[in-house]
Amino acid sequence: MTKLIALYKKPENVEEFENKYFNEHIPLVNKMPGLKKAEITRLKGVGGEGKFYLQATMYFDNEDALNEAMASPEGKASAKNLMSFAKDYVTMYIGEDN
């Protein structure tokens, strides 16, 4: 299983960010072909505030399926939407299960 993992720094205006994230971006993500499931996790640091406050994990069968999803019209729309409000806050990784 291949995962696209997005880690988000806490934005200056959390309410505005989360409105765009949950009401605009996540519906676009859920339309991506080949997406098996998506999980959103709120994070907090151990012993204090951590570097990231939100994690999104999107699951695909393999890296080819992830690449196809990202190249699709739905994937491009999702990426464009995310960059319109979160480019300063997001760090992306690709993960593989062992």
Q: Which domains does the chain have, with CATH numbers?
A: 2-96 (3.30.70.100)
For 63, the enclosing helix (H) or strand (E) is helix 63-71
Whether residue 10 has pLDDT greater than 90: yes
- Looking at residue 23, the DSSP 8-state letter turns out to be I
Average pLDDT, the chain: 97
Residue 89: what residue type?
A: Y
Give pLDDT, residue 8: 98
pTM: 0.92
Structure confidence at residue 98 as a pLDDT band (50, 70, 90): confident
Number of helices (H) and strands (E) in the chain: give both, helices first.
4, 4
Give pLDDT, residue 97: 87
Closest CA to 32 of 86, 5, 70: 70
Q: pLDDT, tens digit, for every residue of 36-76?
A: 999 999 999 998 888 999 999 999 999 999 999 999 999 99
Closest CA to 31 of 70, 67, 5: 70
Tokens representing 64?
């080819």
Q: Is 56 exposed, middle or buried (0-12, 13-18, 19+ CB in 10 A)?
A: buried
Give pLDDT, residue 78: 98
